[in-house]
Structure 1
């Protein structure tokens, strides 16, 4: 009798509708089971229980509970919203599978939920609503977000909708996920969202919001979306989107309205436009040649000489603009900022002492420009062999470094020389300058006797000058250039001896800087011969006890590994015996420890 009653309860549990209280049935089942005292009865009962249905109920119960709570939230006016929302949020937090979110979202009355978000005035209710919706944004697919969230996203960023800052941030998080769509999904996204009205709302939020998290996220979305659209193979679709939506007339007016904003907002806008120019050359053409959206920025760069702080910020943005071949050509051929800044760089302290503050910025700008130009030249991305800036700027830079004791000039100047000299063409230009020899002498002197931070900077500069890229690793011309630099270093002192002595010092930062110089030297066969003839150098390299720090061990290992990679050149320069020792060092690994031999004496108790 007891068994039949128990089975009937199980059947009732499975066939009951969702409006029946499961809890009462489950409690009665539990009581019945508690009254069974025999294992035999359990064995009799379990054969008739529909276990698969019971397990399905167990798996789906959480989802049903969420749906029930949401239904209660939407339909009831007398319940405590906060308590219900907290329970929903807890239930959602306990879901670990995106599949469960996909099952639940189909039964949620999204329009009612969004209406509640728009109409609600309670901060705690709004916070919980946003947290709940965000759970779904993080776990649903692009297509599901487009389907269910369209009514919210279509007008959510407009000021007329009355969404709070938190509500707008929620919309931005959904937009942000949409920007990471695949190229195939991109068609659906731009056909429904990211139309010119949505771009307009994002631009307003980007330029008008005082909340950093809102304008930063708006900027990221605007940049990421156009980057995604630019991957579409059909060029006509991309061009049409730029014309009809992204740079629509109402959006162009906003982008041209920089003068109505303060300097902080203006710089924010300029940075956004410059970032767009770097994404794709077609976007750059729209911005510079068709829409002329950077004209005001370039005007500010040239006519803000008296506002030093603003000028320094403009220089930082111009430096970003040197990263691509099309923007480099734009700066050189279609603007006069280079001539203007060279003139300012030459101004003496007597004319305007404030320019001393901005000169490091000028040096950095020209250094980045030339470095990127030389890299493009080396990789055949640009065919423009003539660049007068090198001939004009390098003598100025050498004069600043030779005549100045200011640490700010020296550090940025050293970085710039290294930046330029790291490329093959840069080495050629530097060696052809008559003032380079004087600079090298001062560089070696600073390596010997300056403060630690300057010595580290000097060693980094020297390492860049010795650097040979993988592309030119077998170039005898590259080896010849580095050898010329090495010989200039040796005119007064033996540079290899100095570097080795620094590598033996107890300060890890100095040692690492010295190790890097040695590593770069291993790329040139002539340097291997120099290392082999340097007294005690081979023994120093192979002695693992000279280095205790992890970074130092790794740096020494990379030097020996690089020597071994030279193969026949290393054997010829250092001999077969030393080469085999280096190979053994590499095979043993970075952190190999020599085993210690212990002798035990018979009868010893210790």
Structure 2
């Protein structure tokens, strides 16, 4: 073929941009030139959001003469241009039935590429000699906005024009055409690459409109070939296209493909399949399709035993969602699937704990769900491991048992089974166990969560060893033990009943507060942050609970932390560590609505200026923390009286300006100054 004019890459670029460029050849002949080149197209930003390349035509140039008189072509082109045009423009482009004729032609002496408007009239030449200049890009954008039709004007009269779908519609048509190409070819790697690129630009809503035309079976078939890139491309494409289909449609029409996907050696295929199963089980109309497919459920269960954690997590999530219905519980626990679950547990310790995680999730849904799990024997097995002799197993199991205690029916079950008493006894026996440091933190956390979810007073009175152990751990030399104790104290003191329980311990708690204050100043950064969080929980009082007794209590606690606690936390807030800075501001915010704290702040030299100074905060978290402090002060009913009206107005102004306000800086320009 003759080499067409230089730079004709732009012809295709404009075609992708919803218009067609013709090169007038004189008489009744025009020239249409195609060239596919990904690198050239990528250098045309703003013309098209995305585009596809037909693999076997990539980096090829083809030029055709278009005649109006139906003369036979002098030479058969390398490909059918009508097919090519249909590839780019979908079914709205011209077809071979419209008597297009083509033949090669030498380059004319001079040429100008023109853009035809929808009405068939010509625009001014965008560039001449077929060469693209950087200055033409803006004009291309303008031309694109005024185009939008497939028009033909061979020079002798106007021909009918066909309207192209705009934007996503055109891209959706390209995607469908590429999908058809994939189904016809044995090795459609280039087509898959092109399809992946096009789909990134097609809105999901546009794909849903064409859902009936999506033929995905060839893509699923390509997953069975041992070609890594091909599998990766197919997974990416299917992930996008399946989102356009209703879950019921996926469940009914790709049943076999889903089962194969769960046994695929490539984990990305398993994750894709499980994500679709997740969509199906979350749809009330589609979930029955899964429940009626025991083989699929079996494969999901066996995915829990895989090496890939993401696959296992997705399988656990799907099975947990299935169990939300009565039919799902019966399918899992009253069929052979329970045996499959127990078989998977035998894979190794890690997989066994994954199954326990699933059982705990299911049992937390309702008392009925817990009853199914208990009847299966798996909950009993978990509790037996918790009270066994292996200290590492204890440490793992207590986390799952703590999750069970988050629900009321779970706590009732644990109490009825005597588990809470057993944990208390193991805490008592921990003093004689040299390995207790492995499981003791988890046991203390369990009681801390139990206390805050039920009644701190009842739990602490019934299990006094719990409170005793917490106080003892704060005196430990082990930072892990100290951290757990501090966290637990913070949890206990987060409500009024817990505060009163701690207050009853008298001077012992005051000594504990001194140790927390010391750790907040001198410990590692992580432990200091945990101490600051605990102090915030202990000292906060909601406005409706501002009784004289409680206010005296929090004031006493604050004074016990350090010889000058206000300066302690102010000093921490000035350190160049955002987490510490925010933690200290959080302490100030916790006490900001209490009159005794406001008096301390007002009487501390420079404290109000420190509060109002925005220059101290350089990141979003710090700005937000300072804003919460100022807002807590401004919203207090006593701050105007204690701080005075001028300072109160400054606080209100700060709040109205928001956390990210930047004061404008005025400058003076002097005429003649450099």
Q: What is the TM-score with the length of structure 1 in the denominator?
A: 0.77
Is 2:423 the counterpart of 1:341? yes
Is 2:446 the counterpart of 1:365? yes
2:566 to 490, 496, 499: 496
Aligned-partner Cα distance in 1 for 2:625–2:230: 56
Is 2:348 the counterpart of 1:262? yes
Can you list the C-alpha shifts for 1:420-465, whole angstroms capped at 9, x where unaligned?
Answer: 2112221122112243222123333444555555443322221110
Q: Which residue of 2 aligns with 1:514?
A: 584
1:432 to 504, 527, 540: 504
Q: In the alignment, is the contact (CA less than 8 A) between 2:305 and 2:347 conserved in 1?
A: no
Aligned-partner Cα distance in 2 for 1:33–1:436: 95
May I ask how many residue pairs the two structures share in their alignment?
556
Measure how far apart 1:298 and its partner are: 0.4
Is 2:281 the counterpart of 1:179? yes
The residue matched to 1:405 in structure 2 has which SS?
coil
2:162 to 46, 52, 58: 52
Q: Which residue of 1 aligns with 2:552?
A: 483
CA spacing shift, 1:442–1:139, aligned 2, 3 Å: same
Aligned-partner Cα distance in 1 for 2:430–2:385: 23
Q: Which residue of 2 aligns with 1:235?
A: none
Q: Which residue of 2 aligns with 1:582?
A: 651
Measure how far apart 1:486 and its partner are: 2.4
Can you list the C-alpha shifts for 1:75-118, whole angstroms capped at 9, x where unaligned?
Answer: xxxxxx22x24314423531314466457664566556656655
Measure how far apart 1:269 and its partner are: 0.7
CA spacing shift, 1:148–1:459, aligned 2, 3 Å: same
Aligned-partner Cα distance in 2 for 1:157–1:192: 17
2:535 to 462, 471, 478: 462
Q: In the alignment, is the contact (CA less than 8 A) between 1:86 and 1:128 conserved in 2?
A: no
Q: In the alignment, is the contact (CA less than 8 A) between 1:274 and 1:320 conserved in 2?
A: yes
What RMSD over aligned residues (CA atoms) do the two structures have, in Å?
A: 4.4
1:298 to 380, 383, 394: 383
Matches of residues 30-41 of structure 1 in structure 2 within 5 Å? none
1:28 to 76, 94, 102: 102
2:517 to 441, 444, 460: 444
The residue matched to 2:439 in structure 1 has which SS?
helix
| Structure 2: unaligned runs, 5 residues or longer | 1-26, 31-65, 72-80, 123-152
1:328 to 411, 424, 427: 411
Can you list the C-alpha shifts for 1:233-285, whole angstroms capped at 9, x where unaligned?
Answer: xxxxx324422x23332122334557734322211110111122234444233
Q: In the alignment, is the contact (CA less than 8 A) between 1:196 and 1:251 conserved in 2?
A: no
Measure how far apart 1:522 and its partner are: 1.3
Aligned-partner Cα distance in 2 for 1:585–1:125: 58
Q: What is the TM-score with the length of structure 2 in the denominator?
A: 0.70
Q: In the alignment, is the contact (CA less than 8 A) between 1:456 and 1:510 conserved in 2?
A: yes
Q: Which residue of 1 aligns with 2:329?
A: 242
The residue matched to 1:94 in structure 2 has which SS?
helix
Q: Which residue of 1 aligns with 2:370?
A: 284
2:358 to 272, 288, 300: 272
Of Structure 1 and Structure 2, the greater helix share is in 1
| Structure 1: unaligned runs, 5 residues or longer | 74-80, 231-237, 378-383
CA spacing shift, 1:98–1:9, aligned 2, 3 Å: farther
2:434 to 338, 346, 353: 353
The residue matched to 1:28 in structure 2 has which SS?
coil
Can you list the C-alpha shifts for 1:142-179, whole angstroms capped at 9, x where unaligned?
Answer: 244234323423x43676xx887665444323323323
Measure how far apart 1:576 and its partner are: 2.1
CA spacing shift, 1:553–1:176, aligned 2, 3 Å: closer
1:571 to 614, 630, 640: 640
The residue matched to 1:273 in structure 2 has which SS?
helix
Aligned-partner Cα distance in 1 for 2:667–2:222: 79
Aligned-partner Cα distance in 2 for 1:287–1:432: 41
Report the more deviating stretch, 263-272 or 276-285.
276-285
